[in-house]
């Protein structure tokens, strides 16, 4: 099915077989590009990061460097201690909350999300998103950034109304 969402042409494929055919066999390069959004243009220097850059020589080179330098087996294994420390911290936090709060309930989803964020943050940036004293400044900044990426912008769907996003 072919739709126009605003002024953006959108192709909807309803079966996995057809999606595989479209993505792999015939049009993989056409579907490799990511949508260019107002928030990504503003926050990521004109979409020049790995997640939003258009599929071209620059993106292929950046991906190659990322895979070789950041995602190699040796590099992933070098951060084994980070995963161990964060899981130990999670277990201790659950243990403390169960005994200190008189057995009250804990939000395990929030705790696991915090551990995942802390592992990724420590491996990539060298610091935790949530500090032990409860300070969540860095984590809050990451959440606010994600909100900005997902906020609706008129210019993304109706380029002639982009002035309205101000």
Q: Which secondary-structure segment (H or E) carries 9?
A: strand 8-11
**Does the pLDDT at position 32 exceed 80?**
no
28 falls within a domain? yes
CB-neighbour burial class of residue 86 (10 A; exposed 0-12, middle 13-18, buried 19+): buried
26 falls within a domain? yes
Number of independent structural domains in the chain: 1
The one-character DSSP state at 22 is I
44 falls within a domain? no
The three-class DSSP label of residue 116 is helix
Range of the domain at 20: 1-32
What confidence tens digit (pLDDT) does each residue in 86-98 have?
Answer: 999 999 988 888 7
Quote the pLDDT of residue 80.
Answer: 93
What confidence tens digit (pLDDT) does each residue in 54-63 have?
Answer: 888 988 898 8
**Model confidence band, residue 163 (pLDDT cutoffs 50, 70, 90):** confident
Q: Which secondary-structure segment (H or E) carries 157?
A: helix 154-157
What confidence tens digit (pLDDT) does each residue in 101-119 have?
Answer: 666 778 888 888 888 888 9
18 falls within a domain? yes
20 falls within a domain? yes
Which are the contacts of 111, defined by CB distance < 8 A and separation ≥ 6?
A: 90, 93, 94
């Amino acid at each position: 099915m072919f739709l126009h969402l605003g002024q953006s042409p959108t192709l909807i494929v309803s079966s996995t077989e057809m999606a595989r055919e479209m993505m792999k066999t015939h049009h993989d390069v056409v579907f490799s590009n990511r949508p260019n959004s107002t928030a990504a243009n503003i926050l990521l220097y004109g979409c020049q990061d790995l997640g939003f850059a258009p599929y071209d020589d620059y993106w292929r080179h950046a991906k190659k460097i990322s895979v070789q330098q950041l995602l190699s087996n040796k590099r992933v294994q070098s951060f084994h201690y980070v995963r161990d420390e964060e899981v130990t911290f999670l277990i201790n936090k659950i243990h403390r909350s169960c005994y200190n709060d008189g057995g009250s309930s804990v939000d395990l989803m929030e705790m696991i999300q915090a551990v995942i964020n802390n592992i990724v943050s420590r491996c990539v940036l060298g610091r935790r998103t949530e500090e032990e004293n409860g300070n969540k400044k860095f984590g809050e900044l990451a959440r606010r950034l994600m909100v900005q990426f997902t906020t609706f912008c008129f210019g993304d769907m109706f380029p002639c109304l982009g002035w309205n996003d101000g």
